[in-house]
């Protein structure tokens, strides 16, 4: 299991890719599967941990990212013969090592940051296996062996039937994530908005967010820890997810619903795969529609939100799905090996 090293696995605060890797790894270990996790040295796991990078590079700016990355990646491939499958969660760079080993490589494509990285995915399209994290997030130029939507540890999220009276923005502070639009919805409806998440774009934060923070109606709590994040999620009357891009998956969306909190989200990217419109939230297309949805949020059963996640986004379901993927790959490789003989 090759995790990114931007954050530890699991991450201390933010780190969605590392978070998924951790849940999957621990889930596989619980099923009795022998897993070696390649991650930063400060990671925690019941699997065997193999680490060359002492700390996450996002937490230690003295680290030369390129050096840590290539050492981290080469370690897993140098031990390839010990593994039946290499599961890559580390973007495209590991693909370029994959043809040099006999172990099959499956990559969960967590995000395609730019069309400029596509040539690598295309080169290894026929030689390795790709998993998409939502149907929406499939690239038409690539082949996928499956879609496996993320699961979360539902027990970790406190279900709250009686929320407080605030709306919640919980995400990176970046244009993509619609912090500005969330503020607009709060202003339009006169509701309190609590905001939390790390500042991913300082200029955006200073021009589009900071001027509106009055710590009465619009409150920014900073980059909160997981404990506070869960409190914020379960006490919110609704999560505002006013994204400005085709989001591949929204972990906070699922986490909100697990806490009983309906989600008002722009109807794009993976949102229709996560939210059932008018059942577990509202899929909307503008700030105006979001403001209308805020008025109707009482019509959503918070219990149904929780149940929907229990059914569709549990860690167990994700682990089951990935085990199925591994089985298909091993079967394919066995067949090919026989054909070669």
Site for a copy of itself in 120-149 (CB under 8 A): 120, 123
Among the listed residues 17, 90, 92, 322, the single contact to a copy of itself using CB under 8 A: 92
The DSSP line for 127-162 is TSEEEESSSTT--TTS--SEE----B-GGGS---SS
CA–CA gap between residue 65 and residue 120 (Å, rounded): 20
CA–CA gap between residue 128 and residue 123 (Å, rounded): 10
Give how far Cα 140 sits from Cα of 121, 146, 281, Å.
Answer: 12, 14, 29
Q: Tokens in use for 206?
A: 């200073």
Span interacting with a copy of itself, options 40-48, 66-74, 146-154, 313-321, rule CB under 8 A = 66-74
Contact criterion met (CB below 8 Å) for 253 and 265: yes
Among the listed residues 44, 99, 324, 327, the single contact to a copy of itself using CB under 8 A: 99
Contact criterion met (CB below 8 Å) for 311 and 287: no
**C-beta closer to a copy of itself: residue 17 or 92:** 92
- H or E stretch at 86: strand 86-88
Among the listed residues 114, 140, 162, 340, the single contact to a copy of itself using CB under 8 A: 114
Span interacting with a copy of itself, options 116-124, 139-147, 297-305, 312-320, rule CB under 8 A = 116-124
Instruction: Say whether residue 100 binds a copy of itself (CB under 8 A).
Output: yes
Instruction: Say whether residue 70 binds a copy of itself (CB under 8 A).
Output: yes
Span interacting with a copy of itself, options 88-96, 147-155, 181-189, 309-317, rule CB under 8 A = 88-96
If DSSP codes are grouped into helix, strand and coil, which group holds residue 103?
Answer: coil
Instruction: Say whether residue 119 binds a copy of itself (CB under 8 A).
Output: yes
Contacting residues toward a copy of itself, per CB under 8 A: 63-64, 66-67, 70-71, 73-74, 77-78, 80, 92-93, 96-97, 99-101, 114, 116-117, 119-120, 123
């Amino acid at each position: 299991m090759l995790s990114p090293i931007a954050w530890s696995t699991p991450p201390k605060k933010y780190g969605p890719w590392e978070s998924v890797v951790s849940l999957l790894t621990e889930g596989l270990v619980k099923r009795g599967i022998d897993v070696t996790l390649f991650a930063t040295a400060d990671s925690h796991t019941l699997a065997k941990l193999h680490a060359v990078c002492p700390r996450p590079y996002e937490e230690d700016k003295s680290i030369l990212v390129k050096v840590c990355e290539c050492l981290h990646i080469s370690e897993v491939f140098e031990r390839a013969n010990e593994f039946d499958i290499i599961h890559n969660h580390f973007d495209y760079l590991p693909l370029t090592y994959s043809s040099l080993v006999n172990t099959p490589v499956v990559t969960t494509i967590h995000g395609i940051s730019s069309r400029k990285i596509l040539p690598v995915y295309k080169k290894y399209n026929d030689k390795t296996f790709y998993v998409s994290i939502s149907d929406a997030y499939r690239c038409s130029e690539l082949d996928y062996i499956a879609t496996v939507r993320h699961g979360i540890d539902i027990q970790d999220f406190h279900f709250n039937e009686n929320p407080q009276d605030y709306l919640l923005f919980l995400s990176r502070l970046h244009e993509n994530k619609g912090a500005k639009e969330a503020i607009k919805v709060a202003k339009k409806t006169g509701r309190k908005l609590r905001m939390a998440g790390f500042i991913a774009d300082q200029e955006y934060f200073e021009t589009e967010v900071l001027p509106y923070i009055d710590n009465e109606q619009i409150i920014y709590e900073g980059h909160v820890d997981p404990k506070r994040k869960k409190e914020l999620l379960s006490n919110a009357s609704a999560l505002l997810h006013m994204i400005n891009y085709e989001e591949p998956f929204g972990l906070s969306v699922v986490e909100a619903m697990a806490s009983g909190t309906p989600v008002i989200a722009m109807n794009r990217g993976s949102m229709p795969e996560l939210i059932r419109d008018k059942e577990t939230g509202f899929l909307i297309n503008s700030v105006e529609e979001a403001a209308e949805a805020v008025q109707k949020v009482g019509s959503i059963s918070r219990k149904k939100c929780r149940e929907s996640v229990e059914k569709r986004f549990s860690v167990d379901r994700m682990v089951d799905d990935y085990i199925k993927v591994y089985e298909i790959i091993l079967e394919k490789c066995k067949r090919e090996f026989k054909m070669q003989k």
